[in-house]
Structure formats: structure tokens, C-alpha cells
Structure 1
Amino acid sequence: MDKDNMKISMAVIRRLPKYHRYLKDLLEKDIKRISSKELSKIMGLTASQIRQDLNNFGGFGQQGYGYNVEALFEEIEGILGLDKHYNTIIVGAGNLGQAIANYTNFEKAGFLPKGMFDINPKLIGLKIRDIQILDADHMEEYIKANGITIGIICTPKEQAQSVADRLVKCNIQGIWNFAPVDLNVPEHVILENVHLSESLFTLSYLLNHRDE
């Protein structure tokens, strides 16, 4: 089967960033090659699972040698699309929006924050690093003029759907949603929801049931 025509499961796709993170750590330690068994020990996956995951994209390992760490890292970067640049905007310049704007690792990975938008007149005109907070009324024209690919929503939940609708009308390709609400977008728009409270509540459950 042609790997380009294979249906990759979301479980595999969601493990790819973990591979990227661990391989980056190995490179920083100047480790040149690693076996699936050695990789399994540090990642908490089985060697079989690692081989299965990577075989979805062509394998990359050599019998008796293992994986060339740098080559595999570059392959994973390409699969994740991290060898490209994405112009992004942040909608909602409150604490969460400002925290994302200040997180420089996103920029290093190719996600370039071009502007922030808000409706609060006290925030409009301020800068977070070199990113100016603009009036949300001008969001559509800014998106079209600056080739924005990804919109990051950090608004209250009551405003999130209307913001998403505006982004969709501007032909935005992807939405990263931090508002605590599930959004409705057309199938051609890639939507990734990040519900911080759900992760925290999962931690709360595990803390309260760890002895069961």
C-alpha cells in the first residue's frame, strides 16, 4: 500500500509530537543513533509500537543499526509540517492570549504570531513582545493582507463561535481553540480544541482515586 494513501489513525498522529520532543532531546545530547528498544525505554512505548507507528510513514530504521536520530527527527519534522512557516493571529488578548504570545517556542517551530486582536479599548494599541494588539473590528482585512493561516482563539466561550465564523469566512485553514466550548466549523477547516480544565479535572480524578 502506498503510504501516502494510507489512513493514519489519530492515535498515531497524536504520538508524533512526542517522537519529535524525545528525538530533539537525543540530538541535544549528541546521540547519533538509537534502537527501537532503547527508544521505547525513554518514551514509555513498546518497541513494537514504535516500529508500527513509524512504518505508517515508511519505517526509517535499518536492521541491526536502529534509527539515525538526526534523519528520523528531520523526517518527523516534515511529517508534522514543521519544516514550513505558518502566519498566525491570536484573538483574545487576555492573560491566556498574552501567555501564548510570549511563548517563543511556537515561533521557533515556525508558528509566527503576526497580530493580536481584542475588543477591550484598554488593550488595543499595546504590544506583547513585538506583537501589537489591534481592534477586532479590523481582523478580516488584516487576515487577508497578511496571509494568515492559523487563528488562535483565546476569547470567553460566549464569543468563540462568532470569532470562529469570522475566521472561516476569511478562508483561515486552521483554528487552535482555547475557549471552553466545542466549536462548529466546516470540514475543510482543521480544528484543534484545547480544554485546559478537562486536563486539570482528569488530574483531580486520578489524585482522588489513586488507591482504588
Structure 2
Amino acid sequence: MSANKISMAVIKRLPKYHRYLAELIDKDIKRISSKELSEIIGFTASQIRQDLNNFGGFGQQGYGYNVEDLYNEIKKIIGLTRTYNTIIIGAGNLGQALANYTSFGKFGFNLKGIFDKNPKVVGITINDIEVIDVENVKEFIKNNDVEIAYICTSRSGAQEVADVLVEAGIEAIWNFAPVDLEIPKEIIVENVHLIDNLLTLSYFLKDND
């Protein structure tokens, strides 16, 4: 089925399937039913079957799912059979934390460069990668086949950075800046607004009080 026919709710559940199936493989579990998987992952068995049926089903009546086969299928569906070149824009605390998070590389997201405009930061090394002046980012993207950029700048500078990234041919943006970017529709954007998430917690804590 074409990706644009799959609901966003289903797409956002796929990484959770991937994570839990990896844990089952680590425990040497060979097969599992939708009911058993539902007890582990927190979705209903019906929801699991519906989600997987969007991509072909993969299960067998009376047998359930072969854990490793299903894991590999999910891996293909979410695009983890290849590697991606990435960069970070903004070498502050958040940018440095992302640069030092080694699990990205394990999943094929290879950090190729880190950029900042602050002369106090440019030239330092983070996780064996030297921070480069952001003025060089367009050339770097083109020369290194960079597909994904992580924006970790301030709110005020994020849109300008995004415009430069679009001009350079970036395909996807992971935006940590607390602002909604104006981006052409063909560019994939995933926003992580940390304060929004924290305020959601605040809402539920208020109800508990």
C-alpha cells in the first residue's frame, strides 16, 4: 500500500512495534500471537492486526507472528534497511546532547557534521566531529549527500536556518526549535516542541490535583 494512504496514527505506532520486537528477539522468543503482543505493547490485538494488515498482515492463522520475520518487515517499512546522512544545526546544550547520543548511528542515522554561528563554539570537537561555521552548511550538504538536518537553534534563528536548508536540497528536518516552520510541502518535517510536551504533563497533573 502507498505510504500516503497509511494514516499518521499507524505510522507513529510502527517505531514502537520495532522496539518491542527487538526486545523479544533479544529474549530469544521465536513467535508470538497478536494477543500476546498486545499484552506487551499496550495496543489491542485487533489494533495490531489492523495496523499490520495495512502492509500485508505477516501473521499465520493458529501460529501468530514469526518475531524475527516481523521485525525485519517492520524494519523495511520504516526505512531502516539503508543509512541516512545527517547534520545538526546549533551546537548548544541540546545539539551537543544529540551529537553524543550514539544510538542514532546504530539505526543508520550517521552524523556527518555539526554547525553553529557562535565563534566560541565553532572549532570545538563534539563526539569526534568538529563544529563548522553555519555559513558553510549549504556546500557541506551538497558535498556529503546529507538528507536530514536536526535544527537545535533558538526560536528566532530557526526559520532562517530552515530556509537555507531547503535551498541546499535537504529532504527532511527534525525541528527542536520552539516554532512552527514554514516549509515547502515536499520537505518532511518532524517537530519536537519540548515545552509543549511538558505543558501536556502539566495539564494531566492539574487534573490529578
TM-score tier after normalising by the smaller chain length: over 0.9
Runs (4+) of structure 1 exceeding 2 A deviation are: 3-6
CA distance in 1, matches of 2:28, 2:114: 38
* Cα shift readout 1:93-130 (whole Å, capped 9, x = no counterpart): 00000000000111100100000000111111111111
Instruction: Kindly provide the amino acid, as one letter, of the partner of residue 68 in structure 1.
Output: N
Q: Within 5 Å, give how 1:180-199 maps onto structure 2.
A: 180-199=178-197
Deviation of 1:168 (Å): 0.3
Which secondary structure does the structure 1 equivalent of 2:208 belong to? coil
Pick from 136, 158, 165 the counterpart of residue 138 of structure 1: 136
User: Which residue number corresponds to residue 106 of structure 1?
Assistant: 104
Pick from 166, 169, 172 the counterpart of residue 168 of structure 1: 166
- Structure 2 regions of 5+ residues with no counterpart? none
CA distance in 2, matches of 1:147, 1:210: 49
RMSD: 1.1
Pick from 98, 117, 127 the counterpart of residue 129 of structure 1: 127
Deviation of 1:210 (Å): 2.3
Instruction: Kindly provide the amino acid, as one letter, of the partner of residue 134 in structure 2.
Output: A
CA distance in 2, matches of 1:103, 1:157: 23
CA distance in 2, matches of 1:140, 1:180: 23
User: Which residue number corresponds to residue 146 of structure 2?
Assistant: 148
CA distance in 1, matches of 2:12, 2:74: 12
Deviation of 1:6 (Å): 6.8
- Structure 1 regions of 5+ residues with no counterpart? none
* Cα shift readout 1:39-83 (whole Å, capped 9, x = no counterpart): 000111110000000000000000000001111011111100011
Instruction: Kindly provide the amino acid, as one letter, of the partner of residue 113 in structure 1.
Output: L
Structure 1 residues 129 and 54: alpha-carbon distance in aligned structure 2, compared to 1, 3 A threshold: same
Structure 1 residues 5 and 172: alpha-carbon distance in aligned structure 2, compared to 1, 3 A threshold: closer
* Cα shift readout 1:140-179 (whole Å, capped 9, x = no counterpart): 1111111100011000010000100000001110000000
User: Which residue number corresponds to residue 66 of structure 1?
Assistant: 64
Pick from 35, 44, 47 the counterpart of residue 42 of structure 2: 44
Deviation of 1:132 (Å): 1.3
Among all aligned residue pairs of Structure 1 and Structure 2, give the percentage whose two residues are the same amino acid.
64
User: Which residue number corresponds to residue 25 of structure 1?
Assistant: 23
* Cα shift readout 1:168-210 (whole Å, capped 9, x = no counterpart): 0011100000000000111110011011111111111111212
CA distance in 2, matches of 1:131, 1:185: 28
Which secondary structure does the structure 1 equivalent of 2:113 belong to? strand
Is 1:81–2:79 an aligned residue pair?
Answer: yes
Structure 1 residues 6 and 165: alpha-carbon distance in aligned structure 2, compared to 1, 3 A threshold: closer
CA distance in 2, matches of 1:47, 1:170: 44
Deviation of 1:4 (Å): 3.4
Structure 1 residues 35 and 191: alpha-carbon distance in aligned structure 2, compared to 1, 3 A threshold: same
How many residues in Structure 1 have an aligned counterpart in Structure 2?
209
Moved more, 3-12 or 122-131: 3-12
Pick from 113, 118, 121 the counterpart of residue 120 of structure 1: 118
CA distance in 1, matches of 2:143, 2:44: 47
